[in-house]
A and B are shown apart, each in its own frame.
Chain A
Amino acid sequence: MATLTPTLTLNSSDVFTDQPLSLSVTDSLTVQAPMTDISRMNTDDNLGYGAGVIIDELDTNEYFFYAKHTGILSSDGTTAANATADYVLIGNGDADAASQLIKLYPGEFCFMTLAPAGDGSDDGDEVGGIKVAAGSAAVQINYGYWKRS
């Protein structure tokens, strides 16, 4: 087992004219394998469960998950992605439209606790996992996941 310490700050001096925003939150999470270090992939890469699937839809583990849109096209690893067309949608392992609640534009990131698959079966209900889908051209993302212990 290991300890993962996430810390998030949200700051703004002008979101309200009469009150600055300065929020800081941290946590101490016990994690274990399966897990990754920070990794990189193209949104159309196949890591073993299908193109764009990072965690299989049948996985009943619970994970802490991080992803960031690098802003780079996967075609050559150097060209900047289009700021509006080349977004990344993140949903469950089936990429059901009803699950795609995260939309990353270049430079944006997310951190969340991924719910496990309901019963480990692909019955179209409570599927788990994570799949990324490009809005247009395939792009590179950084990601990491750690199983909750």
Chain B
Amino acid sequence: MATLTPTLTLASSDMNGDVLNLSTTDSLSILGQVTTKQVVTSTTSTIFATAANYTKSYVYLKNLSATAAEIIEVETASGTGKMFTLGAGEFTFFPWSSLVDLFADAAVGTPTLEVRIYQEAAA
């Protein structure tokens, strides 16, 4: 059994009249497949993770573009079901239910999306 340790900190010194300094971590069992890839997206919505091929997993995504206009939308169906909007350099981390597919759709250009998927169960 492998263990994945994600740690997230959220910090700000100038909001809400208070200091935001959150740090949270977890210890996740990874028994199944691990996918690490970079996907060249386009303005045509394209699937990059098929729900039927995974069980519950942990997903990390990052828009590797440095061009502000090259925003990547993450959708649950081709061209619709928009859920995330990743600007240049932005990332997301979430436990994926594997109930819905994941599609990438670029606003302009061909930004590269870094994809890491760690499946919890062996199958």
Contact = CB atoms under 8 A, between A and B. Distances in A.
B8 interface: yes
Interface residues of B, number: 53
A109 B82 contact: no
Contacts, number: 164
Interface string B32-53: 0010000000000000000000
A7 B56 CA distance: 24
Given A98-B76, A110-B95, A115-B73, A12 B100 contact: no
A113 B87 CA distance: 9
Q: Give the interface SS of chain A, mostly helix, strand, loop or mixed.
A: strand
Most chain-B Cβ atoms within 10 A of its Cβ — which of A27, A98, A101, A105? Answer: A101
B20 A113 contact: no
Interface in A119-141: 125-126
A8 B7 contact: yes
Nearest to B16: A37
A7 B2 CA distance: 23
Contact of B85 (A23, A38, A115): A115
Given A12-B3, A97-B99, A100-B100, A112 B92 contact: yes
